[in-house]
């Protein structure tokens, strides 16, 4: 009797499971989920010579494929989602950039519809409640103090789909806003901040649990005035975001973060803007012009780094081939840890029975050869 065609057994690859890499692993896909076993005669797909890893989860992403989450139509946003999906990101949180409050609320309404449809995993508000001293590629004229009433306005506009908000928690209203976010089940992230070590500790005690792109847009580590970096690294309640594109961080800084936070508290992010997967040229990030040259995005005026053109597959590959990290540690950083942070660890983030069948097939050089989302091939593996 023929087996149900909804089953497929992925064989031959080195499958990175929670226990570690398993050579010639067997992973069963049953419809939209992974399963413990398949019926006799179920079709098999031989992935010999490849890696099989969980689908990537990106907490912090402003766009790609020539489209931005902070502007344009729903179709534009879906184009960005598709671009990153083809690079292995099966779960994505859409990030906004500093703007007028009414515009941000309107944008949250549009993005919330995509989240309700399952196209994105929610909304991350990066700005406007950040420090003008560490504004990066945010328009200074639109920045404001984190008034809890305005924070609540954005949460409400997101209709239950707000996942994270980046704040300079040292600003007036910052700690009260952190408490509000924690009460509402929204991740409070410390970033674009000029906070001291002590002020950062206060924010963590108030409920902040993420460091937005650690090291970037915050004071550097000092031996007398240590700043936010060590406070964020040393606290076990905090997950630290890292942009592993070779521009935002020196490998030594990335290594320091892994050693001090541990592999279970690091999340690779792209912080991608619309040039990701699209090419060099001139773009807009909010109201600011950005020039992308040789894949590096910088503000036209001033030259500050303006997000990235990174995709998660490149962050993965660099983590293994340049930074020398174990594959299983990189899998935690791109999949397991961000899934857990989002409260989705029971559904995504690992190749375990019962979870969504989200997976990426990588060749021996860690380049994407196949992308599976909820049991359907978005990028079908071309195997020799």
CA distance 38 to 8: 8
- Give helix 148-157 / helix 174-183 axis angle, nearest 10°: 30
165-186 mean pLDDT: 98
270-299 mean pLDDT: 93
How confident is the model over 58-101, as pLDDT tens digits?
999 999 999 999 999 999 999 999 999 999 999 999 999 999 99
Per-residue confidence (pLDDT) for residue 24, from 0 to 100: 95
Domain definitions of the chain by residue range: 7-53+349-379, 56-341
Query: Which among 317, 340, 211 is positioned nearest to 264, based on CA atoms?
Result: 340
DSSP character at residue 356: B
pLDDT tops 90 at residue 293: yes
Q: Record the pTM.
A: 0.96
Q: What is the DSSP string of 274-324?
A: TTTTT-SEEEEETTEEEEEETTEEEETTT--B-SB---HHHHHHHHHHTS-
CA distance 349 to 363: 20
- Measure the CA angle with vertex 268, ends 89 and 382; round to 5°: 35
pLDDT tops 50 at residue 2: no
How confident is the model over 307-324, as pLDDT tens digits?
999 999 999 999 999 999
* Structure confidence at residue 119 as a pLDDT band (50, 70, 90): very high
Q: What is the mean pLDDT of the chain?
A: 96
197-210 mean pLDDT: 98
pLDDT tops 60 at residue 5: no
pLDDT tops 50 at residue 4: no
* Structure confidence at residue 384 as a pLDDT band (50, 70, 90): low
245 is catalytic: no
- 7-53+349-379: CATH superfamily: Urease, subunit C, domain 1 (2.30.40.10)
Catalytic residue among 194, 235, 245, 271: 271
Query: Which among 138, 74, 82 is positioned nearest to 106, based on CA atoms?
Result: 74
In CATH terms, 56-341 corresponds, of 3.30.70.2470, 3.20.20.140, 3.40.50.800, 3.90.320.10, to 3.20.20.140
């Amino acid at each position: 009797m023929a087996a149900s065609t909804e089953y497929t057994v992925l064989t031959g690859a080195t499958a990175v499971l929670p226990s570690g890499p398993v050579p010639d692993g067997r992973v069963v896909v049953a419809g939209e989920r992974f399963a413990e076993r398949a019926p006799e005669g179920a079709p098999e797909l031989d992935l010999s010579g490849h890696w099989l890893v969980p689908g990537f989860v990106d907490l912090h992403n402003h766009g790609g494929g020539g489209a931005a989450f902070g502007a344009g139509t729903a179709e534009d946003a879906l184009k960005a989602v598709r671009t990153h999906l083809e690079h292995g990101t099966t779960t994505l949180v859409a990030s906004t950039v500093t703007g007028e409050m009414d515009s941000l609320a309107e944008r949250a309404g549009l993005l919330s519809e995509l989240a309700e449809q399952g196209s994105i995993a929610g909304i991350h508000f990066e700005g406007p409640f950040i420090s003008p001293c560490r504004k990066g590629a945010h328009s200074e004229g639109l920045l404001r103090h984190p008034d809890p009433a305005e924070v609540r306005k954005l949460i409400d506009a997101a209709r239950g789909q707000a996942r994270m908000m980046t704040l300079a928690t040292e600003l007036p209203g910052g700690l009260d806003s952190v408490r509000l976010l924690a009460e509402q089940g929204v991740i409070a992230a410390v970033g674009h901040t000029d906070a001291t070590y002590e002020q950062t500790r206060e924010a963590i005690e108030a409920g902040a649990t993420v460091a937005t792109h650690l090291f970037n847009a915050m004071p550097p580590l000092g031996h007398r005035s240590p700043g936010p970096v060590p406070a964020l690294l040393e606290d076990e309640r905090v997950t630290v975001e890292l942009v592993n594109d070779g521009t935002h961080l020196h490998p030594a800084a990335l290594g320091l973060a892994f050693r001090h936070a541990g592999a279970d508290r690091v999340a690779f992010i792209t912080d991608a803007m619309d040039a990701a997967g699209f090419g060099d040229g001139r773009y807009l990030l909010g109201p600011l012009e950005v020039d992308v040259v040789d894949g590096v995005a910088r503000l036209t005026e001033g030259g500050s780094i303006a997000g990235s053109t990174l995709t998660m597959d490149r962050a993965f590959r660099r983590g293994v081939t340049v930074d020398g990290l174990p594959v299983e540690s990189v899998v935690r950083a791109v999949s397991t840890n961000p899934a857990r942070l989002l409260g989705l660890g029971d559904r995504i983030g690992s190749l375990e029975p019962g979870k969504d069948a989200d997976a990426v097939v990588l060749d021996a050089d860690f380049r994407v050869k196949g992308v599976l989302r909820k049991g359907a091939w978005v990028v079908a593996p071309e195997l020799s």
